[in-house]
């Protein structure tokens, strides 16, 4: 008599595969050491459990100046906290990823999702959806990101801890995880639309999967007074892939009625420059089901600059913001206005910078803002003072379909926004500077599988 639970009988076995880079090399990767590309191939067997997939390895920072720097010998790993070599506090080791591309292993020329400027996206994602406490107990362990701000009132008003929570103290705290004699081991999720929105992917239908990661430049990843003398290295990277085997019943069903379509979410990335205080940023996106968009702003002079944090989040001094589709206001039927002192009796740094209407719509671009229970976005961390210290958390965004979350059709349309801003230079208030705008559209997409196994990606 078989007394086993029928639910257990109908479940396939779960396996965890550790997959090394398929493009070889010495085991050390980076923009200026070894290969600058990481490629992982996953076989076309079983069902991938996307939200458990992890990227693992060791991140370390090495002196390559040719001489000693702050007590650290040439070719030695940095273990001195006095050396100002920083990594973005909201990203941690995610900062080494410049782009991620997901494709079919069998149909190697078919890209399913590609995210350029990946660090700008994840800096916004993590800081908007995690509180400082979330960084302290989760993201710091996963990837060395410690965020900014206070976990509780104790850090703000207890004298023995007070120095740790100054800007200088928090920068020191952000360095500490990376100062180990062997670097920092990381174990982190890849924040792509496909892995965030689809819990399970049939690898057999997809023809296996290839994940390609391109490394960012040293000047983008590391910043600080001594950063130009150091390089980062990724050692023995691998992905841990959870695979659920198909049951005999599922295998039989696949043979009798093959899956012909896979649905998933994907991010599309665009880059623009704000050079005028009144400017439209418009793109013909050719996307069919646009769910939301988010915008990440940073002065152009800070990008790929070792003296500045290339992933920091800034407010260019926005005064009015209007979202547009084909030149009409969509999805908001009004302009978002920021209350600023018209007589200039207040300095820019003391003017309001966290207008609720602007940031509520920004949170809504990640998920329904009523469901966002923890976030680094608040009037203090998001203010101008923290942005000047490269510790701010800020952005704009909007949901195009707050009700059904199915998205809007923009396959033959233009999407964008009109921005009136001060182009406020965070290092010289009242001066202006051009800003880079990284825009990420979250879209519902699908892969159509033909009878001969060829893929057709529809976005």
Q: Could you tell me the residue ranges of all domains in the chain?
A: 12-458
Average pLDDT for 215-230:
96
Question: CB atoms < 10 A from the CB of 63, how many?
Answer: 23
Question: CB atoms < 10 A from the CB of 110, how many?
Answer: 17
> Which of the residue ranges 41-45, 116-120, 148-152, 175-179 would you say has the lowest mean pLDDT?
148-152
Residue 384, Cα to own-chain centre: how many angstroms?
22
Specify the pLDDT at position 346.
Answer: 66
Nearest by Cα to 442 from 113, 42, 61: 113
399-414 pLDDT tens trace:
998 877 789 999 999 9
| CB distance 369 to 267 below 8 Å | no
Task: Report the half-sphere exposure of 94 (CA within 13 A, side-chain side).
Answer: 31
Predicted TM-score (pTM) of the model is 0.91
Burial classification of residue 242, based on how many CB atoms lie within 10 Å of its CB (0-12 exposed, 13-18 middle, 19 or more buried): middle
Nearest by Cα to 263 from 49, 43, 100, 443: 443
Using DSSP, state whether 47 is helix, strand or coil.
strand
Q: Determine the Cα–Cα distance for residues 266 and 121; give it in Å rounded to an integer.
A: 12
User: C-alpha angle 262/266/267, rounded to 5°?
Assistant: 170
**Is 90 exceeded by the pLDDT of residue 354?**
no
Q: What is the dihedral of CA 22, 27, 29, 35, to 10 degrees?
A: -50
Specify the pLDDT at position 298.
Answer: 96
Average pLDDT, the chain: 87
**Is 60 exceeded by the pLDDT of residue 7?**
no
**Is 60 exceeded by the pLDDT of residue 211?**
yes
**Is 90 exceeded by the pLDDT of residue 429?**
no
Q: Determine the Cα–Cα distance for residues 439 and 324; give it in Å rounded to an integer.
A: 14
Q: Which residue has the higher pLDDT, 458 or 284?
A: 284
Copy the structure tokens of residue 195: 């892995």
| CB distance 377 to 366 below 8 Å | no
Specify the pLDDT at position 337.
Answer: 86
pLDDT band at 349 (very low <50, low <70, confident <90, very high): low
- For a pLDDT cut of 70, what percent of the chain falls above it? 88
Q: Determine the Cα–Cα distance for residues 79 and 72; give it in Å rounded to an integer.
A: 7
**Is 90 exceeded by the pLDDT of residue 389?**
no
Specify the pLDDT at position 178.
Answer: 93
**Is 70 exceeded by the pLDDT of residue 343?**
no
> Which of the residue ranges 4-8, 149-153, 300-304, 390-394 would you say has the lowest mean pLDDT?
4-8
Burial classification of residue 452, based on how many CB atoms lie within 10 Å of its CB (0-12 exposed, 13-18 middle, 19 or more buried): exposed
Q: Determine the Cα–Cα distance for residues 163 and 147; give it in Å rounded to an integer.
A: 16
Average pLDDT for 325-340:
88
Average pLDDT for 102-128:
90
152-178 pLDDT tens trace:
545 444 444 445 567 788 888 889 899
Specify the pLDDT at position 427.
Answer: 86
- Whether cis (ω within 30° of 0) applies to the bond prior to 393 is no
Give, in order, the Cα–Cα distances in Å from 301 to each of 170, 232, 273, 304, 306: 24, 22, 12, 8, 11
């Amino acid at each position: 008599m078989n007394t086993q639970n029928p639910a257990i009988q109908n479940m396939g076995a779960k396996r965890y595969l550790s997959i090394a880079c398929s493009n070889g090399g010495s085991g050390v990767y980076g923009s200026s050491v070894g290969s600058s590309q990481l490629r992982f191939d996953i076989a076309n067997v079983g069902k991938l459990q996307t939200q458990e997939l992890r990227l693992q390895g060791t991140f370390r920072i090495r002196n390559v100046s040719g001489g000693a720097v702050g007590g650290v010998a040439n070719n030695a790993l940095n273990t001195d906290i006095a050396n100002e070599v920083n990594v973005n506090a909201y990203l941690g080791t995610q900062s080494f990823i410049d782009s991620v591309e997901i494709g079919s292993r069998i149909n190697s020329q078919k890209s399913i999702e590609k995210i350029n400027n990946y660090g700008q996206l994840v800096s916004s994602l993590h800081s908007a959806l995690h509180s400082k406490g979330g960084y302290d107990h989760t993201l710091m362990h996963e990837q060395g990101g410690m965020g900014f701000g206070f976990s509780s009132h104790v850090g703000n008003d207890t004298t023995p801890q007070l120095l740790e929570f100054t800007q200088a103290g928090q920068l020191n705290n952000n360095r500490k995880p990376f100062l180990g004699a062997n670097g920092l081991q990381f174990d982190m999720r890849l924040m792509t639309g496909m892995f965030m929105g689809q819990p399970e992917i049939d690898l057999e239908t997809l023809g296996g999967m290839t994940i390609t990661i391109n490394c960012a430049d040293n000047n983008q990843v590391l910043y600080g007074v001594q950063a130009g003398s150091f390089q980062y290295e990724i050692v023995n990277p691998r992905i841990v892939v959870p695979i659920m085997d198909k049951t005999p019943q599922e295998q039989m069903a696949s043979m009798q009625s093959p899956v012909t379509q896979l649905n998933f979410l994907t991010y599309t990335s665009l880059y623009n420059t704000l050079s005028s205080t009144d400017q439209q940023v418009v793109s013909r996106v050719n996307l069919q089901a646009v769910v939301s968009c988010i915008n990440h702003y940073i002065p152009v002079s800070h990008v790929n600059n070792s003296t500045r944090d290339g992933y920091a989040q800034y407010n260019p001094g926005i005064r009015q913001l209007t979202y547009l589709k084909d030149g009409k206001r969509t999805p908001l039927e009004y302009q978002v206005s920021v209350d600023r002192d018209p007589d200039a009796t207040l300095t820019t740094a003391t003017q309001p910078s966290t207008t609720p209407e602007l940031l509520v719509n920004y949170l809504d671009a990640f998920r329904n803002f009523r469901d966002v229970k923890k976030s680094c976005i608040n009037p203090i961390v998001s203010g101008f003072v923290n942005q000047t210290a490269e510790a701010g958390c800020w952005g704009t965004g909007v949901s195009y379909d707050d009700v059904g979350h199915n998205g809007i059709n923009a396959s033959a349309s233009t999407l964008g926004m009109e921005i009136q801003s001060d182009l406020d230079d965070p290092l010289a208030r009242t001066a202006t500077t051009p800003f880079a705008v990284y825009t990420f559209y979250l879209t519902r997409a699908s892969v159509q599988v033909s009878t001969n196994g060829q893929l057709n990606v529809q976005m």
